[in-house]
Chains A and B, each alone.
Chain A
Amino acid sequence: MTRGGRLFGLWTAALAVYAFLYLPLAVVVIFSFNDSLLNAEWVGFTTRWYGQLFENTEMLRAAANSLIIALGAATLATVLGSMAGIALQRWQSGFLRALPFLVLAPVAMPEILLGVSLLLFFRQVLDLTLGLVSILVAHITFSIGFVAIIVRVRLAGLDESLFEAARDLGASPWQTFRWVTLPLILPGILAGFLMSFTLSIDDFVITFFVAGVGVTTLPLQIYSMIKVAVSPEVNAVSTLLMALTLTLIALASKLAPDTLRGRA
């Protein structure tokens, strides 16, 4: 094959993969602006589904819940996950070698398993009333591992002698953390926060198990709406959620390029 032909083949393959990934999403975005109740044919451009969305009180309440949970879960998971990440990087001897596995396992655990076991744990062991708190705890559980990985990778990329230098020059362990370690891993911590936030705001499976009856999040609300039919309103809210998620992912990958994009 000629060089030109080979290039053409590569480009076609690449485009096909991207189309496979993004066409369904594009369809949702397009139909969210379609002036028709049916997701069948293009009738004309409108933003009225977005207008309706902001008058739908159920939807707004679900969105508010999602934001509260995402902010809370991301904040707590970031604090705990960063601490875990630092510990994983610093102590790598003896039985502590098992720690990374324990912290990272929930990342790979099937969501349905995590959902069921958390439900059992909350109801049978803790006898907790399901609601905001149970969702919050569940989201923290599966986010910690992600934050820990990102923070650990960031730390591993730093010269160990920086921390020795700080101690050597008279900084106490706390001062070393405050003035050297923290500023240097901050991008990783922020990226971890954004990742947790995105994971939390669009989680469906685990939330479905631990939400109980009173509290609804945005993904649960969308699910209950499409039981009837995929309304253009669902398209609109999905588009907004997608935009938020993509923005956060882009921000996170800018902050921690070595973790999320491969080493530059």
Chain B
Amino acid sequence: MALLEIRKVSRRFGNLKALDDVSLSIEAGEFFTLLGPSGCGKTTLLRLIAGFDEPDSGEVLLDAQPLAGIPAEKRPVHTVFQSYALFPHMTVAQNVAFPLQMAGKHPEEIGRRLGEVLEMVHLADKAQQFPNELSGGQKQRVALARALINKPRLLLLDEPLAALDAKLREQITSELIALQRDVGITFVFVTHSQQEALAVSHRVAVMNGGRVEQVGAPEQIYGFPRNRFVADFIGTINLLPVEVRVAGGDALRLVANGLGEIVSTPVAEASTGQRGAYAVRPERVRIFSAGDVCELDNHFQGTVNEHLYLGDVTVYKIALDNGAVLEALLANSTSGRTGFLERGAVVGVGWHRSAGVYLRD
């Protein structure tokens, strides 16, 4: 039995379906991420789990117990808010000890737990300071310590990194991963940033328009998107409109208008004559000199249209013969312009049949 079961949950606000028949199950000890653009329902779902809101239909179970009717303060679920929501009139120590104080714990126990938790988030020396004297990263750690001090069954994190600058975000991301591993508490993390989601999660649920589009490990979500939305939302991907020529057998044969045949791995939902899109990630597309013999299943000729030099890699936009523009990544393994492709260069591009996926419309 999963730690948290979300069964057919729906929630409307006026005409807006914030959640539309959502079902998910989250295992104990998991770092689970709800990923989606703003307005996709991820925060609504979080608020239902925390107890700030109740679903219109469906149910939420924690440890197989229905949570309906149980107020937020009685749920063994804590939240780290986007704004941190630190109490401005309390010191760091008072903020962090708040859950234990409210539970009426013995002062000796409070003191001991407080010491441990502050040590864990490296804030022992800041115990007597007020939140407005702390940096963004420190506030973040106070909020984490406060939410973890009485060991909830589940920790909810609502875009906790959104208010931090890029450098700090990266550092706190690593800290979060290590923290979750150490405390062993199940984390449910909400974000609109696919990078964050891929970096921290054991599993990701991609949400859109109140529905769950796909659930899976980061590499599954990224490598095998189930539909156009997921493919497009996570990372960059080349999408070519195609029609299925031959389905079944050991290969799926597609045809792209004006380009020719593309060979892909078979998928169950494909049938002959069906229209869809062929999706392939830029880093899976290989670039080679025009005229080189190529034993890749799919290879075409194109012209370098544009390039974006990013330091570690260069992104090439390559116009194919049918006018479609493909993005391809090339690692800059040498310094300077050696091995660099200039605009107008005629090149070959190709990829293995397992590199991309077919997505039906």
Contact = CB atoms under 8 A, between A and B. Distances in A.
B89 A175 contact: no
Interface string B51-92: 110000000000000000001110001110111010111000
A166 B82 CA distance: 15
A142 B51 CA distance: 40
Contacts of B82: 161
Nearest to A184: B89
Contacts of A171: 73, 98, 102
B289 to A, nearest CB: 58
A170 B103 contact: yes
A98 to B, nearest CB: 22
Contact of A183 (B71, B83, B89, B146): B89
Given A162-B85, A164-B85, A165-B85, A170 B79 contact: no
A169 interface: yes
Given A168-B79, A170-B99, A170-B103, A161 B72 contact: no
A127 interface: no
A124 to B, nearest CB: 48
Contacts of A41: none
B48 to A, nearest CB: 13
B89 A164 contact: no
A162 B98 CA distance: 12
B147 interface: yes
- Chain B CB within 10 Å, residue with most, of A167, A169, A183: A169
B202 to A, nearest CB: 24
A159 interface: yes
A168 B50 contact: yes
A11 B89 CA distance: 41
B147 A169 contact: yes
Given A167-B71, A167-B73, A180 B87 contact: yes
B10 interface: no
Contacts of A179: 98, 101-102
B79 A175 contact: no
Interface residues of B, number: 24
Interface string A191-227: 0000000000000000000000000000000000000
A180 B90 CA distance: 9
B73 A170 contact: yes
Contacts of A166: 87, 98
Contact of B52 (A159, A164, A172): A164
B150 interface: yes
Nearest to B72: A167
A169 B84 CA distance: 13
B102 A169 contact: yes
A170 B102 contact: yes
A168 to B, nearest CB: 5
- Chain B CB within 10 Å, residue with most, of A162, A168, A183, A184: A168
A81 to B, nearest CB: 22
Interface in A205-253: none
Nearest to B77: A168
A169 B102 CA distance: 8
A65 B87 CA distance: 42
Nearest to A164: B52
A164 B98 contact: no
19 contacts: A159-B83, A161-B85, A162-B85, A164-B79, A164-B85, A165-B87, A167-B71, A167-B72, A167-B73, A168-B51, A168-B52, A168-B77, A169-B73, A169-B78, A170-B103, A175-B102, A179-B102, A184-B87, A184-B88
Given A164-B72, A168-B77, 19 more contacts: A161-B81, A161-B82, A162-B87, A162-B88, A164-B50, A164-B52, A165-B81, A168-B51, A170-B99, A170-B103, A170-B150, A171-B73, A172-B73, A172-B102, A175-B102, A179-B98, A179-B101, A179-B102, A184-B88
